[in-house]
Amino acid sequence: MATNRTGTAQRPNGATQGKICQFKLVLLGESAVGKSSLVLRFVKGQFHEYQESTIGAAFLTQTICLDDTTVKFEIWDTAGQERYHSLAPMYYRGAQAAIVVYDITNQDTFGRAKTWVKELQRQASPTIVIALAGNKQDLANKRMVEYEEAQTYADENGLLFMETSAKTAMNVNDIFLAIAKKLPKNEQTTGQGGSAQGRRLAEGDAGAKTAGNCCK
């Protein structure tokens, strides 16, 4: 465990220098389902009851260790309101992973999550790893979306699926870890690709600009 924490890159002999992988991950889902809360829990281990709404998008990074590999997530947390939809392609374009979040106490948000999955399957990179997160598991007594229903849907569509709670931290690290495991780790071995990754997004963004489809 401890070695995992310190990371392979710091092993004294240097012989088994671990790989460092960077992945761009995007969070999508209806507003107020807990996207920002999941990220905040994952990145800072915090939870705010009154997490402010996200306008546009927010960006955060977090690194986790997986066996010999250091996985750095570059996370784009997007705005949930339907009107901000047109901004989304700018963020999921070029993303290797996506977490589509819904609120287990609200059936509509599950419907919206399905729409996001469809859009990703159509528009995003064909190799994108998609995870479905049923958030607010701590409110299970007010559940409106059955676990089995979501699990079946996830199986049919080849999605990772977990019920999470940003409030109690349940399954939060696990879902990111599961994504990291599923991501291919042979191609991206960039040591200092921070800005490269950013550039990829920004190029997509430039495309979006000329197409003029931002904020529509």
Partner 1 sequence: MIPLLKNPEMNFGAITFFARQHKEDMCGSNGLPLTPNSIIIYGRAQKLKSINSPYLCQYLDIIRGKHERTVVVCQYCGIPLLNYLEKETFTLTDIKRIAYQILQGLNILHKRNIVHRNLSSENVLLQGNVIKMFNYGLYYLTDNGKLVSFPVVQLLYAAPEIYLDGIHNSLPNPAVDIWALGIILAELVLNKKLWNYLKVGQRIRKILSLLQSNTSVFERIAREHNAYDEYTNVPDELKEIIESCLNIDPTKRPTCEDLLKKSIFNEFLIQNGYINNDVKKFETFAISELYHWWQLAGGDVLQELKKQGLIRSSPPILSLPHLVLIEGNILGQERNPATLYDPRIVEMPLDALYQRFENISFSAFYPLIQIKSKIISQSEPQSYDATGLPLIIKERDPEYQFHRIILFRRLLHGYPFTKDLIRKEAEKDIPPLLRGEIWAALLDVKSDYKYRYMKLDKYTLTPTDRQIEVDIPRCHQYNELLSSSEGHKKLKRILKAWVFKNSHYVYWQGLDSLTAPFLYLNFNDEAKAFACLSAFVPKFLHKFFLKDNSAVIEEYLAKFSQLIAFHDPVLANHLYEINFYPQLFAIPWFLTLFSHVFPLHKILHLWDKVLLGNSSFSLHIGLSVLTQLRERLLSSGFNECILLFSDLPEVDIEKCVTLSTETFKVTPISITEREHENDEFRTKDEYDISGVTLHDLKQERYPRISARDVIELIRTNPDKILVIDIRNLIQYNRCSVINSISIPFSSISFTENKIENVGNNSTQLESTKDKVVVVIGDEETDLELFPTFLLRCNVKKVCVLHGGFNVLLPVSPTVLVSQNNIG
Positions in the binding site for partner 1 (CB under 8 A): 31-32, 49-53, 55-61, 74, 77, 79-81, 83-84, 86, 90, 105, 108, 136, 138-139, 142, 167, 194-195, 197-199, 202-203, 205-206, 209-210, 212-216
Closer residue to partner 1 in complex, CB, 69/205: 205
| E-state strands within the chain | 19-28, 57-66, 69-78, 97-103, 129-135, 160-163
Residue 216 C-beta: closest distance to partner 1, Å:
5
Q: How far is the CA of 141 from the CAs of 31, 90, 113, 136, 191, in angstroms?
A: 21, 37, 21, 10, 46
Q: What is the CA radius of gyration of the chain?
A: 17
> Cβ(69)–Cβ(45) under 8 Å?
no
Residue 197 C-beta: closest distance to partner 1, Å:
7
Closer residue to partner 1 in complex, CB, 15/216: 216
Closer residue to partner 1 in complex, CB, 11/199: 199
Closer residue to partner 1 in complex, CB, 57/178: 57
| CB burial readout 143-179, b (16+ within 10 A) else e | bebeeeebbebbeeeebbbbbbbbbebbbbeebbbbb
Residue 199 C-beta: closest distance to partner 1, Å:
5
- Distance separating the N- and C-terminal Cα atoms of the chain: 47
Site of tokens 């915090």: 46
Residue 113 C-beta: closest distance to partner 1, Å:
16
> Cβ(104)–Cβ(143) under 8 Å?
yes
Closer residue to partner 1 in complex, CB, 54/160: 54
Residue 172 C-beta: closest distance to partner 1, Å:
16
